[in-house]
């Protein structure tokens, strides 16, 4: 009986070691780099360095109704740094007070990936931006002062969650109700 168990033990060990060999890597003729190493984007043509995406926020229906959209385009300067432009639009309507407002404007941003936190907080980044918003309400048009924001965020699978602080916040002179601004969006193409 002991011989049978020993024989089965040797058979199982030899079977698992036969399949536990190093994987076979097949290199294709068109392969020009190691796939485990991140490619330097500075070697890519201009079109491949462009990123497109956006965000949707503030969705609320009823009274008040709020709809916000923000398409954006970015250019990947290096593997860790992206600059871009977003165009924000927000529709706000409160039927209780017969009030409607459209708010819109461009924002320029820079986003820098924090590699030093990659092991702790994968996808973390710093972000700065400047924006100029205009609004029209019940036939009147005006604009807010230029806003400067700075903060950070985390990205996962193309989506970004960023928390920014409005450095130029003044109550009544800002498109935001608070100096703290939270955004959800990202680059998808």
CATH number, residue 76: 2.40.160
Question: Per the domain annotation, does 16 fall within a domain?
Answer: no
**Tokens (6 digits) for 116:** 């030093």
Residue in 69, 146, 72, 145 with CA at minimum distance from that of residue 110: 72
Question: Per the domain annotation, does 38 fall within a domain?
Answer: no
* Residue 156 banded pLDDT, cuts 50, 70, 90: confident
Kindly state the average pLDDT of the residues 107-130: 87
Question: Where do the DSSP E strands lie in 95-158?
Answer: 99-113, 124-131, 134-137, 140-143, 147-156
Kindly state the average pLDDT of the residues 73-84: 95
- Res 19: pLDDT: 46
Question: Per the domain annotation, does 1 fall within a domain?
Answer: no
Question: Per the domain annotation, does 33 fall within a domain?
Answer: no
Structurally, the chain folds into a number of domains equal to 1
- Res 165: pLDDT: 96
More confident residue, 73 or 11: 73
- Res 75: pLDDT: 97
Its domain, for residue 58, covers 46-187
Residue 72 and residue 86: Cα distance in Å, rounded? 4
Residue in 33, 35, 31 with CA at minimum distance from that of residue 43: 33
Question: Per the domain annotation, does 23 fall within a domain?
Answer: no
- Angle at 124 (CA atoms; ends 49, 175), nearest 5 degrees: 85
More confident residue, 158 or 93: 93
């Amino acid at each position: 009986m002991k011989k049978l168990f020993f024989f089965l033990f040797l058979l199982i060990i030899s079977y698992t070691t036969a399949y536990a060999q190093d994987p076979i890597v097949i290199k294709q003729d068109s392969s020009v780099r190691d796939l485990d190493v991140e490619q330097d984007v500075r070697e890519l043509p201009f079109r491949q360095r462009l990123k497109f995406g956006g965000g949707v926020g503030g969705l609320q229906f009823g009274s008040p109704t709020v709809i916000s959209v923000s398409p954006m385009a970015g250019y990947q300067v290096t593997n860790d740094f992206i600059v871009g432009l977003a165009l924000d639009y927000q529709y706000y309507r409160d039927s209780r007070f017969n009030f409607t407002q459209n708010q819109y404007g461009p924002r320029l941003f820079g986003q820098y990936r924090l590699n030093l936190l990659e092991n702790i907080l994968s996808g973390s980044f710093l972000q700065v931006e400047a924006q100029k918003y205009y609004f029209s309400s019940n036939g009147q048009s005006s604009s807010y002062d230029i806003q400067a924001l700075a903060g950070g965020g985390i990205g996962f699978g193309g989506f970004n969650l960023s928390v920014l602080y409005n450095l130029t916040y003044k109550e009544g002179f800002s498109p935001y109700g608070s100096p703290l601004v939270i955004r959800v969006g990202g680059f998808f193409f």
